[in-house]
Amino acid sequence: MGMKWLERQARKKDIDYFKEGNCFVPGTDLPALTRLAAGLEGSCALVRLAQLCDRWIYSACLCFGLTIQEQQRSEFRYSYSTYQLEYSRNLLFKSGRKLDQVYQGLIDRTRNLLDLPRLKTIFGRKHRPHQDRRPSRRMEKILDRSVHNLTVFKLHFGRLTLKMYDKGARVLRIELIVNNTAELQCAKAIDKLPHILERSQQMIVEFLAVVQAAHLSFLPAEQLDSLAMPTYRGQQRLAGVDIQKPRPRAVAQALIALAAQPDGFTAEQLAARVRSQQGRSMAKYNTRKAAYDLRKFRGKALVQRIAHTRGYQLRCPAISTLAALLILREQVLKPVLAGVCHPKRGRPPKNVHPLDLHYQSLQRQMLSTLQYLKLAA
């Protein structure tokens, strides 16, 4: 509704815009549209929305049961509330190729870390444009569906869905879908709509922070040595976090997967995620063990308790540290050492992934290093 209203107002005021589906794209006079959209904020938006609902309910629906005079005599009134909601944020790129490079790289790095259950790709029939060589200032509506590749990155948390997908030629959209506003744990009444929108915006920002932290991981030099050392919480001595052991590694993987969950997670949810990720090897992992492991991770300041609740959450530095440890072990040390111990023979493939070229170079240098240290023949 807001998009249609904004489009009509832009047409009345002769504001240049480009539109693909329900998204304004580069070439649009975005500052002018932003000033127009300010009319849908705060109390003005609530008044407009209430007037729209009143006009539709009392003149188009209730009139079949009660006449206008009967409605006025009975003083019969409806109260309105919000049930479903969608909130999105669009990132505009100048180059479609840059969009593909950034988005596909983000998917490759974070798909396993965030435990993405399914990735859907719809292939288009055109390549994304490189750049706008002659930007146009004329008003135009573009309706062009399934032209470019569409890859949907989607996570479900109860009745909330966090979705990221590339839309059109140069747009990356991050979207929150609320199937029931009760999931936001705030009132549903229409006068609470600004608070609901603010809460939705906060969830989008936190989701982007989690994705960025998992994508651009970083491991401080002193963190690797200190993780395995014991810590103390008051008088209680807690064991360290050794990622080389299967159980702490499984917990670290589950923690990163739960980091994007709005409002944090509980020990029971952590135990369920560990069992679902690891299968039969961790079938006996229960809530009690999860609570003990959470205490160890809290001792290392990797997990923090949400005040006055039983929930926990990860901040961005902790996500980056755990992601870096897992990537270092699973995608650097294991492949390189396995290639050094068992080098491949025969003709190389015609098409080699750039990452495989890096692995081959590291394996050659690693073999030379091990031979110099007399650790390999």
Question: What is the residue whose two structure tokens read 């997990």?
Answer: 303
The pLDDT value given to residue 294: 94
Encoding tokens for residue 306? Answer: 């949400």
E strand intervals along 290-337? 304-305, 312-313
Residues 255 and 303: beta-carbon distance below 8 Å: yes
Residues 176 and 87: beta-carbon distance below 8 Å: yes
The pLDDT value given to residue 169: 77
Encoding tokens for residue 90? Answer: 């669009």
The pLDDT value given to residue 140: 38
The pLDDT value given to residue 253: 93
The β-bridge partners of 171 are 92, 167
Q: Which segments in the chain show pLDDT lower than 50? A: 134-146
Give phi and psi for 238, each to the nearest 5: -115, 145
Residues 336 and 363: beta-carbon distance below 8 Å: yes
Closest CA to 319 of 208, 218, 207: 218
Distances from the Cα of 90 to the Cαs of 21, 166, 202, 359, in angstroms? 13, 10, 15, 36
The pLDDT value given to residue 1: 58
Q: Indicate whether this model's pTM tops 0.85.
A: no
Determine the Cα–Cα distance for residues 113 and 253; give it in Å rounded to an integer. 7
> How long is the chain?
377
